[in-house]
Amino acid sequence: MRENTIDNMSALEREYANDVASLKDELEEEQTTKEALEETFALELSREKENHDRALEVANELKLKNDKLVFVNAKLLEDFEQLKKGSRVIESALTKLTESHEQLKASYLKEHANLPSPIAINNDACATNSTSCEASILKENVELRAQLELLTSNYGKLEENHGKLSSSHEDLLASHDRLKLAHEAIISKATPCSTSSSTCVVTNHVEEIKELKAQVTSLKNDLVKSHEGKCKLDTMLSVQQSPNDKSGLGFKSNNKKGQVQVKDPAKIVCFKCNIEGHHVRSCPLKKKQKGKRPQVQTHIQPQVEEMPLPKKKQANAPIVEKSSEEELQQDMINFNGPGNRTGMGDLAAAIIDPSYKDMKTKFPTSSHDQWECMPLPEVNLRYAAIDGYVSFELYRRLKKINDGQRQAQPIPREVVCPDCKEAARLAALPPAWRDEKKQCVGTNYCIDDPQV
């Protein structure tokens, strides 16, 4: 039975493998067809875009030509109006000249008719003095000849001007007719060309856009179908059991318990920038902060100064005990400094570095510009500030309890210093400063302040 089932399973696996291979081939064919369709679509789209750009360029050129023609037409109209005005002025001048010519001609005829005949003049001259008559006649004859010459010259000039004005008038009329015909031809050419070209371009673009939209929808459908087939194939391949794994048929499973599970990077959240997909060690914000952080010079560790030994207090000096509230206030002033630093960063720095108030004096002069830069990063400084605040609260409460116990309990007699006979001083000394018999090691080790 096992052999039959194994054979059946192997046959099924072969069929399944054949189906998977055929599906893979179909998927590859679909992908190739999809790529070919995308390439053809891209080529057609580029061609259509080129045609569209060319049509737009042609339309823009026609529009520019139309604008130029309209501008030239406007200029021609202005020139025509000016020529028309000039022709009117010339016509008025010509009429005036013709009128003056007619008047001069009439006056000449009148004067010529009013002139006396030479026979009558001769008879009168004979009747009178012959010499005086001849002289007067000669003078009048000379004057009349001069007037006649002037009138004839003026008449010739007027005739020449009249001929010139008539010829210029005819030329203006001919040019006016030509400009009118050219204007009508330009208007007749410009309007139907622009309308027909714009309508043709618009209809062509609408048809091209419709065709492109149909191609895009067909390609989208093909992509959706290929994506669905790929998803089905992925699910089938993920569900497929490997031929080496024969669990469920009486064999042990080949799966190892110690296999490392691959974590989904989408579920990993960085707690620095609150963005999914990476850890804190690979946070880009952290790298930016490291890049922007100024290069602080290495902090010179301050040398530990030797504390001077306390001087012996005078025996008769009165001991002034402060109350617990005053001591607490004084400790706060000593701790925060005269500037009353209330920030957590200052508090943490004061707790981490006891010589914080003297740090600026111990810094080298070259690094005074970086005085405000903290030696710790913001995260560590925050945690240090929290720890420092907690430790300070504990210190304050323990000090209150200690002050209350100090006021309530008397000092034992066995810790009285035999040399100076002052119990409060010896009680506050460290154990290393007292011998095994709890006596003062030396008179120089008695401290001045019993509260220390």
Query: pLDDT, tens digit, for every residue of 4-61?
Result: 788 888 888 888 888 888 888 889 988 899 898 999 999 999 999 999 999 999 999 9
26 belongs to a structural domain: yes
Residues 286 and 167 in one domain: no
360 falls within a domain: no
Kindly state whether residues 276 and 232 are assigned to the same domain.
no
Number of domains in the chain: 2
- Of 135-144, 330-339, 375-384, 399-408, give the range with the top mean pLDDT: 135-144
- Both 130 and 62 in one domain: the answer is yes
In a domain, 386, yes or no: no
The radius of gyration of the chain from alpha carbons, rounded to an integer in Å, stands at: 62
pLDDT exceeds cutoff 60 at 398: yes
Considering the domain boundaries, does residue 13 fall inside one?
A: yes
pLDDT tier at 442, thresholds 50, 70, 90: very low
Q: Has residue 107 been placed in a domain?
A: yes
- Amino acid identity at 251: F
- For residues 227 and 269, state if they share a domain: no
Tell me: do 227 and 82 sit in the same domain.
yes
- Burial degree of 253 (CB within 10 A; 0-12, 13-18, 19+): exposed
Burial 54-68 (b: 16+ CB within 10 A, else e): ebeeebeebeeebee
Asked if 90 and 32 sit in the same domain, the reply is: yes
Could you tell me if 120 and 196 lie in one domain?
yes
Per-residue pLDDT tens digits for 298-321: 444 444 333 443 444 444 444 444
> Does 269 lie in the same domain as 168?
no
Note whether 100 and 181 are same-domain residues: yes
247 forms bridges with which residues in the sheet?
251
Q: Report yes or no on 76 lying in a domain.
A: yes
In a domain, 446, yes or no: no
- Domain extent for 213: 2-239
Q: Are residues 175 and 275 located together in one domain of the fold?
A: no
98 and 168 both lie in a single domain: yes
| Residue 315 located in a structural domain | no
Are 65 and 161 within one domain?
A: yes
